[in-house]
A and B are shown apart, each in its own frame.
Chain A
Amino acid sequence: GQQVMQIPQYQHVQEGEDFTTYCNSSTTLSNIQWYKQRPGGHPVFLIQLVKSGEVKKQKRLTFQFGEAKKNSSLHITATQTTDVGTYFCAGRVYNQGGKLIFGQGTELSVKP
């Protein structure tokens, strides 16, 4: 079946270092969403990318959608302790309605 692979599974960084998580889909996606889950919490929507090659920024976060609409990345510049949590990508496949396929998530820890 369709899969979205996300790497790395864990990332430990020093505060101030950059962080990147990557997602790859086995099939072309109609769009991709990113979510953040704080420890002990529930996933919260961050952003959606729709267009091939799209790049969006939210303060220190940069999201990219690949030209083939099969991969995506989230890059955080100069991490802060408030960035701690698990970041999930979730791809929507054409003709599958509202169903999202979630990646396994990348757990980010930030050492002050």
Chain B
Amino acid sequence: DGGITQSPKYLFRKEGQNVTLSCEQNLNHDAMYWYRQDPGQGLRLIYYSQIVNDFQKGDIAEGYSVSREKKESFPLTVTSAQKNPTAFYLCASTTAGGIREQYFGPGTRLTVT
């Protein structure tokens, strides 16, 4: 059963702590993306990777970091430098060609207090 998994579904952290969100896909997709979703603001792109060992900053990369050591995995670290980290984080992947529709994971809701 192919798809994208994100874990955990809910995550609570204290301010000042780094936290890593997991994203794994078994769709054999080349490209992977991280978005942040806040009420009324749609999806904003944090980082994306079109190939293993390469990634690019999106529109709101400050305070975040990523790695792409394996095709299947694209973890996102929310660092203590992120001013307002509480949000719903969505991971997505696409094929390299064709329509390139984005397949989304179920999301991780991060709360930092």
Contacts of B103 in A (CB 8 A): 45
Number of A residues near B (Cβ < 8 Å) is 23
Q: Is there contact, CB below 8 Å, between B45 and A99?
A: yes
Contacts of A42 in B (CB 8 A): 90, 104-107
Known interface pairs A42-B105, A98-B48; A48-B99 also in contact (CB < 8 Å): yes
A6 on interface, CB distance cutoff 8 Å: yes
Q: Is there contact, CB below 8 Å, between B42 and A98?
A: no
Q: Is there contact, CB below 8 Å, between B40 and A104?
A: yes
Which residue numbers of B lie inside 8 Å of A, CB to CB? 31, 35, 40-45, 48, 50, 58-59, 90, 94, 96, 99-107
A63 on interface, CB distance cutoff 8 Å: no
Q: Which of A1, A33, A102, A104 contacts B101 (CB 8 A)?
A: A33
A76-112: contact bitstring with B at CB < 8 Å (1 yes, 0 no)?
Answer: 0000000000001010100001111111110000000
Cα of A1 to Cα of B104 in the assembled complex, Å: 25
Known interface pairs A1-B59, A97-B50, A98-B94; A43-B43 also in contact (CB < 8 Å): yes
**A48 CB to nearest B CB, Å:** 5
